[in-house]
Structure 1
Amino acid sequence: MNKQLRVLFIGTYVPKECGIATFTSDLLNSVLGENNDVHCEVIVLSDPSETYNYPEEVVFQIRRDRIEDYYSAADYINQSGADIVCLQHEFGLFGGDAGDYIFALLSGINKPVITTMHTVIREPDPEYRASTEKLIRYSEKLVVMSQSAVNMLKEVYKAPEDKIELIFHGVPDYPFNNCSKYKKMLNLKGAPLILTFGLLSQNKGIESVLEALPGVVSQYPDLIYLVLGATHPMVKKINGESYRHYLENKVSELGLENNVVFHDKFVEKEELCNYILASDIYASPYLSREQIVSGALTYAMGMGKAIVSTPYWYAQEMLSENRGLLVDFGDTDGFKKSLLYLIENPEECNGMRKKAYDFGRKMTWKNVGKEYNTVFDKALKNYNTHPGIQNRFNFLPIQLPEIKLDHLKLLTDDVGIIQHTNFGIPARRYGYSTDDVGRALVALTQLIDSQKKAEEFRRLITTYMSFLEHAQTDTGHFHNFMSYKREFLDEKGSEDTLGRAIYGLGHVVSCPYLSKNIRTLANTLISKSRQEIKNLGSPRAKAYTMCGLYEMLRAGVDADEFESVFNSRRDTVKSIDSLVDKDNFESIFITHADSLVDLYEANHKEDWNWFEPTVTYSNAKLSESLLLAYNYTKDRTYRKIGLATLDFLTEIQWRGDFFDLVGNHGWYSYNGKIPLFDQQPIEAGYLTQAYISAYEIAHERKYLELAKYSFEYFLGRNRLRTVMYDYSTGGVFDGLGSDGMNCNQGAESVICFLMALSSLNKHTNEPIIVAFQPKVSDGGLQKKKSLLSINQEE
């Protein structure tokens, strides 16, 4: 049995009142009607101000001006099982310059794309040329509806000829009829009845016909000119009904009140066809020559109407060989003469109608459906033979970058680290932050592997230690923000600030290559903070503190008290309250670890292995802190929860070949959707550190592979395929937003990069064989079970 072909259409869709919406619906039905082995679904472009009750084939909606929706749609397509994507392209359908938001979708999918081009511009502005050229590159096939469009693609855009397919705009298949039956059905008068239909906009040129009518009406007073259609929604939104009012005023000025009827309504397809069949003459007075297709003209031809049109490109081609009459743009006298000719020469008019009707048999939706199915088959075979996207990240370097501290040194003066930059230049007005200084100590101490390296970093570390000594308050907490004038801007920082300071100080205490004076000062500052860190409430502050205390305890501080505390905890049924009164660092370390366990137990569900009902910031640091707690205590509860939550972060952020970090534009709540932006590089750095800890504890190769992938986020393995690391300076760009990369290079970004790089460097001699295939997240579209159940045995 042949596998069912799955086609996913992208465009506007009924019941939206829009020509492309109708076209997409008709095309889908024609494809289905000609092939029983096809399954069709639709992704629609929508306007937030509009709400529609879409039919069941609509499976996803893209808000036109929300670029994150285009990225989410790409994820949906990749997981949907679709074989072919059929895109309806018109620049105005999509957000961005010249509709370039669509490339956020096209660049991220691994399916062949068949693009129906509803507009091709002969003399494009630069942004439209660039957009069209990108569209050509991303499309396996380009479907256009006229030979003029074929020629333009080849001549203006140098599109490969084998990519281009000419398939006419579809039309319903009606028999060749006279008009009287349908006039009676609709209770229409008019001898003759002239029709112009479609969404009303100034480009319609209806005033050209109105100005021609007095000379025709004088001879045929029963003539009716019916203008059928509501005002285009976008026109109405911007200009209201000004064009309609202009036309109505012109009717009054010309004395045509008895001969012109405005039917202000969007009619459904069946009713529209009845109006066309009832008319004697179809008028198409468009003002723009660059009209490469017209559904209205196509319908009029396919139903055998006598046609008078301006010579836009589509009309010139379709009405050649005496299938209609052409009148120059704005030629009022030409319209008058053409209308009179058709009225007064019924035999010639009927012959013209028959030629148009016969040509229209090629364009029936039945034939169009057959031709699209043929193109789908050709494109799919060609794509499977020569896939369009093999490896989206084949530009990544083979080796890790060398350690480069130029940018960190640039940000550091004799006080501390300037927090932010403008385009890589230190922005002094933002001052300094304890958060950055604490983590910078972590990054530097991880890089010290000899006395020589310690001496090289001595000035930086001394400056940072001096800053923390000055920032510590009388209670042992820390100020966070200091202005460039060396004035602290807060009474004390957040609990996270305290945790980050302890994180850095703990690494200083444990670094054997640093001087005794520096290590003693670090120990003194931590000891002064003992009561503050003991009473922390913030989970992340606890995690940071645990990471710092782990290094301190590993270095032997308070080790003599640990055994009794830990045995007491294991062997009694008392709650952890029994440890609260103990001030030693081991008890604080264990108390915080147990509180994270409690937090996990209170919030995790079958499909939500996390500490809180929302995934926010510094996420992997929570998992890592429990892994370190296991490494120190060998309590397997910490190990299980640490790995389970880290695997959960993998599940929700890994896309099969890159990480989509949870954005801070709303965070990710249970039963919600993952916000794609703004993504912060610190999350990639922390993930790398946590994966390395998991690899060292669990000895599973997948964690080393994931550490490499998460680190490569900085090097371009991200949604935008944007390199965030500046190889020339060692700077790191500050994040990924919906409008691209943040071009500033602040302290936090370069510090977390150095922390991740030093963690990964410890295992550079261990070959990474890509055997791990992590579960691909659905980006919040549906819930899935975690990679590791908390009850799973090791």
Structure 2
Amino acid sequence: MNYRSDLILYADNTDFEFSAFPGLAADLGNSPRVALIGTYLPRRCGIATFTDEVARSLGALPSPPQVDIYALTEPDCALEYGAIAGRVSPHDRAAVRNLADQINASGADAVWIQHEFGIFGGPDGETVVDLAQALAAPLLVTFHTVLRQPSDNQRRIVRQLLARASRVMVMTRSGRELLIAEYGARPQQVVVIPHGAPDRPFIPSPASFADGSAAPQLMTFGLIGPGKGLETAIAALPAIRARYPDVRYRIVGMTHPTLLAREGETYRESLIAQARELGVEDNINWDNRFLETDDLLDQLQQCDVYLTPYPNLQQSTSGTLSFAVALGKAVVSTPYEHARELLGDGAGVLVPPGDAAAMANGVLALLDDPEFRQGVRQLAYQRGRETLWSVFGRRSLAMVKEAVSPAPYLPARLEAPGSRALWTLCDGTGMLQHGVLSVPDRTHGYCIDDNARALIAMHDGKHLPMAERRRWSVTFASFIQHAWNDGEQAFRNFMSYDRSWCEERGSEDSYGRTLWALGATAERALDDDLRLWGRMWFDRALRGFAAIDSPRALALAAQGAASILRTDPQHRGAQGLLERTGDMLTSLLAEYRRPSWPWFEAVLAYDNPRLPLAMILAGECLERSEWTRAGLDTLGWISQRQTGAQGQFRPVGSEGFGQPGVQLPFDQQPLEAQAMIEAAGAAWKVTRDCAWRTVANRAWQWFFGVNDRGVMIADLASGRCRDGVTPRGANLNCGAESVLALHASYSAMAAFAGSITDGVRGHNPGGLDDSAASGIVHGGTGLAAA
């Protein structure tokens, strides 16, 4: 495994052609299925109300998407949520992972997370990262707060979410600019959708308060805490009362539950004491409750001036401010980000934070001048038309559809990839490891892993020009030969571009992969001399391999041993290697097997199908039927583990390699699809069960967009293959491992198709029009019992 992570280039997943395909969100005119995650009613907080309104606004559209709501709850929460898809305590990391698994299994086309640092668990709510990492569907995140001066941990959390999100929603232009400038968000990634608001008629306020016929009504709503700046509004009341003795200031809202649990009503009592000292106690009405939306709107419509005296100018959004503006209320506010954008150009009055005199003057300017107040209100009402929930719903669905993976454009027939990308990576030394886009990257030089893979590709790649196969076979064989370190009795792996070796001994896996290549050469090389060379080096290298006991190294070498036995059934060394492999894998299976975990290890890693493939080969070559059965059973299990809810191939992502109990969906790599196709081919030869045709076909289609991001990994014209599928689309780099995986996968699929047509209706060299073989291109996506 030599996956390169230091330079990853991404593509937006909206640039690829698509057409209808069963099982994925193929037709973007159809409504997708959205998993919506956030706090939710009846929990009493602003984001819970927002999550509810999001679901309502989407549900009210002419062609509504299916919305599955997953509520974030507090530990031991006794709230009754009604008909929702699930609930989870975000403080429980295991539960958060299980929630991701539940959503992945649901077939959701997109996942939309409402983010605020305080609603997730861990320091700064970092369990949201655990959730995001484990989700397979395209991710959308609403940032309800974008901090200008975050802590290091807060910045890390936001950046990790940005690295995984297909689309990010903020409610202000300044929030978008901040995410791009300070957090490194991609401009095309961030969408501005203003906070939604209800649609109610404009109700005029009294023409004048000077004659005493009406008492001015001021109002503030929201969970009460020090961050609301209510001290400033109360301090402004004496000056307002001096002009309007009957003024009423309604402070509506319960104390924030976290503050209430920690300090009780101490903060509210301090505000009451402040009002008493200032002589305005009788001018304040306290409504200590959390209002439902309709009740809130009724009270908002009755007020004349709405106050938001928030001291924190980083406050990104305020739902009640959006409501007040949409109802055409006159607003006096501090200039936090949301207020600046909604109230600018005369739609409200902005005053400095903590300045009671300025707030009093702002309120009095509105109360004293009916024409000014009426103009402010009408401008606010017109601006509010742009933020109605109906508008919000349409914009949100458009954002979801932009993020949802488009359906793939599949080749109609099994077509061979071109060879240009292969030769581009080769020079007189061998095959270079990496590429920046499709340009070879000499910085990282060569490795025996890729040259061994390339040598096998020359033997099996019947779609490649014969002269090129002969020429490059010798180059790759020469690299392998030169890699042998006689003093260590082992192969080196990494070589720099100046042809100097970077180590004395390579990894055990690279040793096993080289034995595989040598065995394949002894069996299938185009030249008699090269076949003899392969047999000679297999025998020589096998001696140094005796002490290696890595399961994957043995599984890789077992493929070479099986090739040797097909040419020489009495080869004792190959027999011994297969016996050692079968015994070890059987022992590991017995050690780690659980009712729901019939596997060789406690973790999942890379190249997983190679382990059951080795069991199948060992069982068939040595006539050990119990090994064959174990290989088929474990291959069926890992195939099911690597199948998404919509039938697409979903290999274990490299981010989750080796993590106990964790299977993360990204980054997905071509090597995994190749391993599954080749293992399914071996299972087909043993069983002739058409389920394995489906398994292989599913993995082959992954290259052409039937994957979790709908991105084309393979380009048949050039033979290029991208380095993988990431949360943000395709990694556009084309390294040797990926390009070779495409060509090896094609060779395996072509052999698969030939064996099917030979076994069913006779050879069909023209392609796969034969109905018995057509599944290789368009087969079903469900795995039958294997």
**Which TM-score band applies after superposition, normalised by the shorter structure?**
0.5 to 0.7
Deviation by residue 1:570-589 (Cα, 9 ceiling, x = unmatched):
xxxxxxxxxxxxx6322222
Rate the CA distance shift 1:269–1:102 in 2: closer, same or farther, 3 A.
Answer: farther
Distance in 2 of aligned mates of 1:225 and 1:550: 85
2:549 to 537, 541, 555: 537
Secondary structure at 1:429's aligned position in 2? Answer: strand
The alpha-carbon distance between structure 1 residues 392 and 24, as it changes in their structure 2 partners (threshold 3 A), is closer
What's the counterpart of residue 459 of structure 1? 471
User: CA, structure 1 residues 280+651, in 2 after alignment: closer, same or farther (shift >3 Å)?
Assistant: closer
Q: Say which of 80, 86, 92 aligns to 2:143.
A: 92
TM-score normalised to structure 1 length = 0.62
What does the per-residue CA deviation read over 1:619-669, in whole Å, with 9 as the maximum and x for residues that have no partner?
A: 111111222223323321122111111111111111232111111213376
Kindly state the Cα deviation for residue 551 of structure 1 after the two structures are TM-superposed.
0.9
CA contact (8 A) 2:223 2:290 kept: no
Partner of 2:12: none
Partner Cα distance (2:706, 2:301) in 1: 59
Distance 2:664 2:710 in 1: 18
- Correspondence for 1:435 among 446, 449, 458: 449
| Distance of 1:134 and 1:333 partners within structure 2 | 33
Q: Is the 8 A contact 2:407 2:710 kept in 1?
A: yes
**8 A Cα contact 1:546 1:625, kept in partner:** yes
Q: Deviations for 1:303-327, whole angstroms, at most 9, x for unmatched residues?
A: xxx9754699x99xxxxxxxxx996
Distance in 2 between residues matched to 1:473 and 1:263, nearest whole Å:
87
Q: How does 1:137-156 map to 2 (within 5 A)?
A: 145-146=197-198
Q: Counterpart in 1 of 2:222?
A: 198
Give me the CA root mean square deviation.
6.0
Map 1:621-640 onto structure 2 (within 5 A).
621-640=610-629
* Aligned-pair CA distance for 1:598: 2.2
The structure with the largest alpha-carbon Rg is 1
Deviation (angstroms), 1:454: 4.7
2:39 matched to which residue of 1?
Answer: 12
Partner deviation per Cα, 1:374-412 (whole Å, 9 max, x = no partner): x9xxxxxxxxxxx99999635211123323222221111
Percentage identity across paired residues of the two chains: 24
Q: Over residues 188-243 of structure 1, what are the superposed CA-to-partner deviations in whole Å (9 max), with x where a residue is unaligned?
A: xxx9884312268999998997897554232456867566679999xxxxxxxxxx
Q: 1:477 — aligned with what?
A: 490
For 2:732 and 2:57, how far apart are their aligned partners in 1? 48
* Mapped contact 1:192–1:223 kept (Cα < 8 A): yes
Alpha-carbon deviation of 1:489? Answer: 1.4
Q: Tell me if structure 2 keeps the 8 A contact 1:651–1:787.
A: no
Once residues 278 and 144 of structure 1 are traced to their aligned partners in structure 2, the CA distance between those partners, rounded to angstroms, is 16
Partner-residue secondary structure (3-state), 1:419: strand
The C-alpha deviation readout for 1:224-278, integer Å capped at 9, x for no partner, is 7566679999xxxxxxxxxxx9xx9xx99x9995549999999644899799989
Determine if the alignment matches structure 1 residue 492 to structure 2 residue 505: yes
Question: What residue in structure 2 maps to residue 417 of structure 1?
Answer: 431
8 Å contact from structure 2 (residues 37, 112) kept in 1: yes
Pair 545,76 (structure 1): closer, same or farther in 2 beyond 3 Å: closer
Q: Secondary structure at the match of 2:654?
A: coil
Partner of 2:613, secondary structure, is helix
CA distance 1:622–1:102, change in 2 (3 Å): closer
Does 1 or 2 have the higher relative contact order (CA < 8 Å, sep 6+)?
A: 2
Shift in Å, 1:437: 1.0
What CA distance in whole angstroms lies between the structure 2 residues aligned with 1:772 and 1:497?
Answer: 34
Aligned residue runs from structure 1 range 241-640, under 5 A = 257-259=278-280, 268-269=290-291, 281=303, 283-285=305-307, 294-295=319-320, 308-309=330-331, 335-336=363-364, 338-339=366-367, 393-448=407-462, 454-474=466-486, 475-511=488-524, 513-516=526-529, 518-556=530-568, 559=569, 561=570, 584-640=573-629
Tell me the CA shift for residue 13 of structure 1. 2.4
Alignment check: 8 A CA contact 2:608 2:672 kept: yes
8 Å Cα contact 2:668/2:725 also seen in 1: yes
**What is the one-letter code of the residue matched to 1:472?**
W
Any conservation in 2 of the 1:197–1:296 contact (CA below 8 Å)? no
Distance 2:524 2:652 in 1: 33
Q: Is the 8 A contact 2:523 2:563 kept in 1?
A: yes
Tell whether the 8 Å contact from 1:616 to 1:664 is kept in structure 2 after alignment: yes
Q: What displacement does 1:507 show?
A: 0.9
Once the two structures are superposed, the pairs formed by residues 148-187 of structure 1 within 5 Å of their partners are none
Partner secondary structure for residue 421 of structure 1 = strand
5+ residue gaps in structure 1?
1-5, 33-38, 107-116, 136-141, 148-167, 170-190, 234-244, 316-324, 343-351, 357-367, 376-386, 563-582, 777-785, 789-794
Could you tell me how far apart the structure 1 residues matched to 2:457 and 2:141 are? 50
CA contact 2:691–2:785 (8 Å) conserved in 1: no
Deviates more, 1:501-510 or 1:627-636: 627-636
> Matched residues in 1 for 2:696 and 2:290: separation?
56
Amino acid at match of 1:43: Y
| CA displacement at 1:461 relative to structure 2 | 1.0
Q: 1:26-76 CA deviation, whole Å, 9 max, x = no partner?
A: 9999999xxxxxx99731479xxx989584647256989x99999867524
C-alpha contact 1:73 1:105 (8 A) present in aligned 2: no
- Aligned residue among 723, 737, 741 for 2:730: 741
AA matched with 2:477: M
1:711 CA displacement: 1.4
Contact 1:615–1:669 (Cα < 8 Å) also in 2: yes
Mark the CA change 1:16 to 1:481 in structure 2 (over 3 Å): closer, same or farther: farther
Q: Distance in 1 between matches of 2:576 and 2:689?
A: 30
8 A contact 2:216–2:367 mirrored in 1: no
1:510–1:9 CA distance, 2 compared to 1 (3 A): closer
Determine the C-alpha separation between the residues in 1 that align with 2:403 and 2:237: 57
Query: What's the counterpart of residue 687 of structure 1?
Result: 676
